[in-house]
Amino acid sequence: MENSILYTPIEYLKGVGPQRGEILRKELNIHFFKDFIHLFPNRYIDKTRYYKINELQSTNADVQIIGKITHLKSIESAKNFKGNRLTALFEDETGEMELVWFQGQKWIKENIKLNTPYVVFGKCNLFGQTFSMAHPEMELLSEHEKNVRLSMQPVYPSTEKLQKKGITNKIIHKFIHQVFLETHHLFEENLPDYLLDELKLMPKKNALASIHFPKNLDVLAKAEFRLKFEELFFIQLQLITKNLVRKNKIKGFVFEKVGQYFNDFYQNHLPFELTNAQKRVLKEIRQDLGSNAQMNRLLQGDVGSGKTIVALMSMLLALDNGFQSCLMAPTEILATQHFNGLSELAKELNIPIKLLTGSTKTAERKLIHQALEDGSLSIIIGTHALLEEKVQFHNLGLAIIDEQHRFGVEQRSRLWKKNDIPPHVLVMTATPIPRTLAMSLYGDLDISVIDELPPGRKPIQTVHRFDNQRGKVWQFVKQEIAKGRQAYVVYPLIQESSTLDYKNLMEGFEMLSAEFPLPHYAISIVHGQMKPQDKEFEMQRFIKGETQLLIATTVIEVGVNVPNASVMIIESAERFGLSQLHQLRGRVGRGAEQSYCILMTGHKLSNEGKTRMETMTRTNDGFEISEVDLKLRGPGDLMGTQQSGILNLRIADLVKDRDILQQARYHAIKILKDDPELSKIEHEQLKKSFLALAKDKTIWNYIS
C-alpha cells in the first residue's frame, strides 16, 4: 500500500499537473510523491518572536514586527534610476521605521489600512539612522491571530526557473502538505525497535512530519537527528557489508612467508630506521596479505612520511611468495619519481624494476609486455599505460595505486580483471583525508595512517608576511643562498586567464632579476606556456644546483624532490586553497636542514583567507589542516569535482554531523557482526529497506 502511493508520478498530485510536474522534475529532481517527502528544508524562519523597532539589528535575519502604518508617500526616483517607489512610515511604541515597495504599488495604496495594527515580516537594512524593510510580508494583526500558523517556517531549495513559474516556497510547502494528506502518513519504520529505544530516536513517520511541519525547536532537533542518523547509518551499512563480503567471499592470494628478499632488505639495506608508524602499517599489511582474503587497504601519509619504503617492502613480500607487483601513478612525473625512488632503494637486491608510461618507446614496451607475461619481470611502475589490453601479467599479486582519487572506478576495475583472482590492493595518498570523509568515502577499505615523519626531519617553519615586508623577505632568502641553499617562488594559477598568470610571473621575474642579479645569482623559470623539454631543462638546472631560485606559475608538480631547497615563497597565498598550500610547503623540508615557508599576501584578507594563513602558520599536521579545509570548503570541493556526486547527502552534513556519523558506523558494525545476512526477525524491515535503497541506487554505489 505504502509503496504504490509513494511511487505515484508527481503530476498526479493535486495542484501540480503536467507543466508544473515537468519543471519540478528538471529543477529539483522530483519524480514521485516520495521525492517531495525527502525534499528537506534548507533552513527555517522562526515566527515565534516579535521584535520591537528599537531592538532591530543590521543582520541577515528575517524579523517580525507588530505596528501601524501612519502614512504613505510616493517618491519619484532620480533621473538615472528607473521607476518610482512607495514608502510607508511604520511605527510601534518604541520607534519608527520605513517600509518600501518598488512594485505592486497600486494594490498596496488601494488596500492598505492606515493606523491599523499589522504584522510585517522581512529583512531590515539600515540606511543612515533609519531601518527599512523592502516588500515586507504583511498581515492584519486581527487575521494573523486567527490563522493557524507554523511557528517555524521551512524554506525549501529553489531555483530561478521555479520562481519565474510562480512555484514559490509557499506553494512547495502546500504540495508537501498535500502529499502528506494523500499518503495518510503511511511511512514504514525502517530501523529495528531496539535501536529506536536505545538511541531514543523519533519514529520515522513522526520525524518526516516534524521536519516539514515542526511545532518547535526541540521537536525539530529530534526529527533532524533521527533522519541524519538514518541516512548515515544506511551508507555505513552498505560500506561495511561490502567490506565483510570481500573478506568472507573474495578470496585473495595467501602470502604465507616472509622470505629472503624482505629479510635481506630489512636487515641489510634499510637507509634509515623505520618509524613506529611505518612498522605498525607494515604489520597491518602483512596480516592482510596472509589472511586468505583480498586486501583492500588505504594508506594515508603526509608529504614525506615514507610511504614509498612501505610500498617497496609490501612488493618484496609479494616477490617472496612468487608474485608480481605493480604501482600505478596518475602522472608521468610521479610515476618516474616512484621508479627512481624504488630503484635506488632496491639497487642492492638485483630485482628487475621497469617503468611503463605513454612515453615508453615501442621496442622497450614490447620487451616489458613479454617480461610481464612470462613472469621474468617482478615489479612494474607505470601510469594509465598499465591498464591497456596488451599489458598481461603472469601472476599479479599486489596492485598499489597512488593518489587513487585521480583514477576513475572503471579504470581501477580494469586492473583487477587482469587475473582470475583479484590482486591485493594498497591505495596510497599524500592528501590527508579528514576522518569523517575517510569513513564515508573509503568506509569499505581498511585504513592505515603514517602519522610520524622520518627521524632527522625538522618541522618546516611557516610565517605570514604582507607585501610591504618584501624587502626583509628577500634579505632572508639571500642569507639562505649564502649558506648554499635554494628557494622556490610560486605564483598562483588563475585559470580564467593564462595571460594574467604570465604577466604576474613575468613581473615577478623582472623584479627578482633586479633583486638577485647575475653573475652572483641564477634564476630558473617554469610556466605553463613552455615546451615540455624546456621545462625539463630548467627543472634540471635547479635540481643540479646551477640556479638558486626557481620561479613557477603552475604548481610545482607533486613529486619534485630537491633536498637542498630550504625556502618556499608563495606569492598571493590567499588565492590558494589550504590543501594546495600544504602540498606546496611539502616541497621543502626534504633534507636535514631547517626549512621555511613564507606566505605573502596583501593587507586585505577575507575571513576565510585569514583562517587559512593562521592554520598554516600554526600547524604542519596535514590531518588537522584537512579538517579545517573540510569546514571551509565542504566535502564536494575537497575531493574535486569528479568525486562530488558521492556526498550528495539529503540532510546530513559530514562536517557538522561527525558525531552522528561515528554513532551510525558503530551501530552498523555492531548489527552486521551479530547478523551479517540481516536474517533475524527483528531485522526484517531493516533488510527490506536496505535492499530497496541499494536497488534504487539511493545509496551511492561506493566502489573504492
Residues above pLDDT 90, as percent of the chain: 49
Cell numbers 618484496: residue: 316
* Predicted local confidence at residue 173, as pLDDT: 92
- pLDDT of residue 79 exceeding 80: no
Residues 285-307: pLDDT tens digits?
A: 999 999 888 898 989 887 778 88
pLDDT band at 556 (very low <50, low <70, confident <90, very high): low
pTM of the model: 0.66
> For the segment 567-624, what is each residue's pLDDT rounded down to a tens digit?
999 999 998 888 889 988 988 887 778 999 999 999 988 888 999 999 999 998 888 8
Residue 236 and residue 666 in contact, taking contact as beta carbons nearer than 8 Å: no
Write the DSSP assignment of 660-693 as a string of letters.
HHHHHHHHHHHHHHH-TT--SGGGHHHHHHHHHH
**Distance (Å, rounded) from C-alpha 49 to C-alpha 65?**
9
pLDDT, residue 634, reads: 64
Percent of the chain with pLDDT over 70: 89
- Range name among 78-82, 520-524, 635-639, 692-696 with the lowest pLDDT average: 635-639
Of 413, 437, 370, 428, give the one whose Cα is nearest residue 628.
Answer: 437
Q: Can you give the three-state secondary structure of 201-212, one letter per residue?
A: CCCHHHHHHHHH
Q: Average pLDDT, whole number, for the chain?
A: 86
Q: Are 68 and 117 in contact (CB under 8 A)?
A: yes
Q: How far apart are CA 181 and CA 677, in angstroms?
A: 36
**Cβ-contact 505, 527 below 8 angstroms:** yes
Q: Backbone phi, then psi, for 216, in 5-degree steps?
A: -160, 180
> Residue 28 and residue 11: Cα distance in Å, rounded?
14
Distances (CA, A) of 377 to 218, 312, 346, 393: 66, 15, 14, 9
Name the least confident of 2-11, 111-120, 512-521, 543-552: 2-11
pLDDT of 184-241, one tens digit each?
Answer: 767 889 999 999 999 999 999 999 999 999 887 788 889 999 999 999 999 899 888 8
User: Which of the residue ranges 237-251, 343-357, 431-445, 528-542 has the most confident prediction, judged by mean pLDDT?
Assistant: 343-357
Q: Is the pLDDT of residue 532 over 80?
A: no
